[in-house]
Structure 1
């Protein structure tokens, strides 16, 4: 409860700073710190603690299978309910992709403890991050009307993304002993992830409801916050996953809409009000739903 209180407090601080306009573009600076410093430090410190075995396969499969199922359902519902092309494109970004790093890792620390972080990193890097660089550009190119999709750009994004570089460095130096001073400093930098990321989330929250888009908003929220973790739970049982890997996969699948997905949707003019609402309300609702899903996870 103490860790969850810290997460909520930092989000509240971010919301207050957003209202008083003390810092201009503060969220961009904090986002950069998380991506360039805190997340790489988390990866460099926690990933070597991971024991590689068949249990990790589920952490890689679940984000991709749930993405495919939710995306297919969005396409079907879009046709059945007569949604516009822009709305379908937006929900293809917003409904299947969760906030598995900025919000996910702090929430997992609060609900499952530090020992869940290595598993969260596998889910995030092999699932959510690759979806950002492979899936999001494809949807944007197809639904935003420009038709531009470059494998060269995708590859550059993958190999220049700081957390991915940190993961590659970790694997390259796996068998080497690290000096005590390096580990101590990595831990201190990694500890900045929760407060900095959560204040950044608070600074970016928009809690207005999208007028005229109530139905897509409600459906998108139900798909992301309700159906996706249920699908993950089904896959966990199908794959016979147990313990921390299963618990981590379930909670990661239950995370609200990814902020990056909302930003990409808005930047391509794919229902920006719907994107802002799903990101903002998703974070708020997750403070109720994630503790409830953690009760389910404890039975795994």
Structure 2
């Protein structure tokens, strides 16, 4: 791993990504500090910084991310080979769940059903949208040409596993007001109305359409600003993860998610002849930190928040160390 490679990675990936995350952290902290001077009756069930992060998140889900997908899918390469992305996503998540169940069975240290659900979710759900997609776009070895691989991994893999399988795991022992049948119908409706899925199809349909230069520049500007806003929102949410005192609880699911599964995925892809940028995209998406969807599910169904918060913080920090390792190994091996 040469100094030139590390400097290139620092300049092209780390600097823009962690600068945007830092802006989010500072913005959330600043709003939190200023809100102390507001009248108490202005405070509702959610803090101002969390409300703003949620508003940004809704904008990104319904508008920002779909614009990104339409813009970058139009210029990305596409072939039948790309259908490997969701297959790898589900294989990686299935492997993670299997290993997590084995660990829980053998160790017998996690007995509470809600804690076991948190463990399972953390072991297989990754941050393939807010972090995975920006990293793929910013890496000099990948870029826009391989954007479709990252999107299919996220939209047909992680998203379905989050609000389909993830919802079922999180609500297994839930005492919430909805029945499991109602939750299943809700999850199905959310999956089938996912804006990113429709945006991907639209982007494919527009590949042969010529846009004028001004419109293309505006679309590209909106797409890149949405990518940066994803990172800012991530920083805001990280700042709101107040407790970092339970890192010990996060070691096992984070090790499964970010070390064991990516190593197996990389070896398996190499064995079947998948190499170069496609392999790098798929392994990077498989190695992304624990996803914020886990926190959403934990808060909705009363899972073990301490473990979830610790895993989100630890896995995000671990990415800083593992990213250059994955890129270096998979571009030379």
TM superposition score normalised by structure 2: 0.82
- Alignment match, 1:148: 180
1:74 to 100, 105, 112: 100
CA drift at 1:209: 3.2
Q: Tell me how far apart the structure 2 counterparts of residues 104 and 207 of structure 1 sit (CA, whole Å).
A: 24
- Alignment match, 1:132: 162
- Say if 2:243 is the partner of 1:208: yes
1:64 to 75, 83, 90: 90
- Alignment match, 2:256: 223
CA drift at 1:233: 0.5
For structure 1, which runs of at least 5 residues remain unmatched after alignment? none
Residues 251 and 311 in structure 2, CA contact (< 8 A), matched pair in contact too? no
Question: CA 1:97–1:30 in structure 2 vs 1: closer, same or farther (change >3 Å)?
Answer: same
For structure 2, which runs of at least 5 residues remain unmatched after alignment? 1-9, 35-47
Question: CA 1:101–1:217 in structure 2 vs 1: closer, same or farther (change >3 Å)?
Answer: same
Structure with max Cα Rg: 2
Residues 88 and 282 in structure 2, CA contact (< 8 A), matched pair in contact too? yes
1:239 to 260, 263, 272: 272
Which has the higher mean CA deviation after the structures are superposed, 160-169 or 281-290?
160-169
2:137 to 98, 104, 109: 109
2:203 to 157, 160, 170: 170
CA drift at 1:95: 1.1
Residues 94 and 262 in structure 1, CA contact (< 8 A), matched pair in contact too? no
1:11 to 16, 21, 31: 21
- Alignment match, 1:123: 153
Supply the RMSD in Å over aligned alpha carbons.
Answer: 2.2
- Alignment match, 1:37: 63
Q: Tell me how far apart the structure 2 counterparts of residues 159 and 172 of structure 1 sit (CA, whole Å).
A: 19
Residues 210 and 277 in structure 1, CA contact (< 8 A), matched pair in contact too? yes
Q: Deviations over 1:249-292 (max 9, x none)?
A: 01111110011122212321111111111112211221221122
Question: CA 1:140–1:33 in structure 2 vs 1: closer, same or farther (change >3 Å)?
Answer: same
Question: CA 1:210–1:90 in structure 2 vs 1: closer, same or farther (change >3 Å)?
Answer: farther
- Say if 2:73 is the partner of 1:47: yes
